[in-house]
């Protein structure tokens, strides 16, 4: 039975529960680049982190895992001292993980539509549409979220069946538009500046972006599900980027 990159990442993340160093072997210690500013460089840093976390009786629920070429990205739910939702992204090279990014947010909700930050479909379909779905999401984030052309929302989002998992919002394009329009004296409350990466498998697309939220330097990870050429569902995490003086490595968040 072939062990896939998805299987290896599932095992790696579940080892947070046990502290087992075995699955960490999927990480190439010599090449590993860590982009979590709060984690030390290299697989030894991960092993130490996982061993420490395992002593707190954590729970790791891997909700969704996707593969895009050399990348594996996972949508996860963590229960340590507090409940967090995260996206984990790993880049593989020669069969091992050599680079890692993540974005973690405290779990909130359910939202006004009764949806949690992780429920909903988990398996990609329409694999043949991976590239067209990637292109559509990249265009949506650039045109609507970065450039601020809210009049273009319904060019990308299904106005009849849009499902929202953000804990502060609810279903429907009208609520999304209202949130994106909200501004204070310093400008838009949700302010996207730059797209860093767009990963996709079939009907699911993850966009990694940088900007400001409530005036704070922020990383936005947005997971979209598409159907029939439109965005129909959305999950996300937003994380304030720690000041450079607090970083434990020098690789940057993105």
Say whether 127-240 and 5-107 share the same fold.
yes
* DSSP summary character for residue 246: G
H-state helical runs in the chain? 5-18, 43-54, 130-140, 153-156, 173-181
Burial (Cβ within 10 Å: 0-12, 13-18, ≥19) of residue 35: middle
CATH number for 5-107: choose from 3.40.50.970, 3.30.70.20, 3.30.70.890, 3.10.450.50: 3.10.450.50
Residues of the chain with pLDDT under 50: none
Question: What pLDDT, on a 0 to 100 scale, did the predictor assign at position 21?
Answer: 85
Report how far residue 220's alpha carbon sits from residue 196's, in angstroms, rounded to the nearest whole number. 10
CATH topology of domain 127-240: Nuclear Transport Factor 2; Chain: A, (3.10.450)
Question: What pLDDT, on a 0 to 100 scale, did the predictor assign at position 185?
Answer: 56
Tell me the three state secondary structure of residue 54: helix
Question: What pLDDT, on a 0 to 100 scale, did the predictor assign at position 186?
Answer: 59
Report how far residue 92's alpha carbon sits from residue 33's, in angstroms, rounded to the nearest whole number. 11
> What ranges do the domains of the chain cover?
5-107, 127-240
Question: What pLDDT, on a 0 to 100 scale, did the predictor assign at position 231?
Answer: 98
pTM: 0.95
């Amino acid at each position: 039975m072939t062990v896939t990159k998805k299987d290896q990442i599932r095992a790696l993340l579940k080892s947070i529960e046990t502290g087992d160093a075995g699955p960490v072997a999927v990480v190439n210690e010599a090449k590993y680049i860590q982009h979590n500013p709060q984690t030390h460089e290299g697989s030894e840093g991960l092993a130490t982190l996982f061993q420490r976390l395992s002593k707190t009786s954590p729970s790791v629920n891997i909700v969704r895992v996707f593969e895009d070429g050399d990348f594996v990205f996972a949508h996860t739910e963590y229960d340590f001292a507090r409940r967090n939702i995260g996206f984990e992204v790993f880049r593989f090279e020669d069969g091992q993980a050599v680079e890692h990014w993540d974005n973690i947010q405290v779990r909130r909700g359910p939202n006004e539509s009764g949806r949690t930050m992780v429920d909903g479909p988990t398996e990609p379909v329409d694999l043949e549409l991976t590239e067209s779905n990637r292109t559509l999401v990249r265009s949506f984030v650039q045109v609507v979220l970065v450039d601020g052309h809210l009049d273009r929302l319904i060019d990308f989002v299904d106005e009849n069946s849009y499902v929202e998992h953000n804990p502060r919002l609810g279903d429907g394009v009208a609520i999304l538009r209202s949130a994106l329009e909200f501004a204070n004296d310093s400008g838009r409350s949700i302010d996207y500046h730059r797209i860093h990466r767009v990963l996709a498998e079939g009907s699911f697309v993850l966009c990694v972006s940088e900007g400001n939220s409530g005036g704070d330097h922020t990383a936005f990870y947005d997971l979209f599900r598409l159907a029939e050429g439109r965005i129909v569902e959305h999950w996300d995490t937003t994380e304030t980027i720690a000041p450079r003086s607090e970083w434990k490595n020098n690789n940057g968040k993105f």
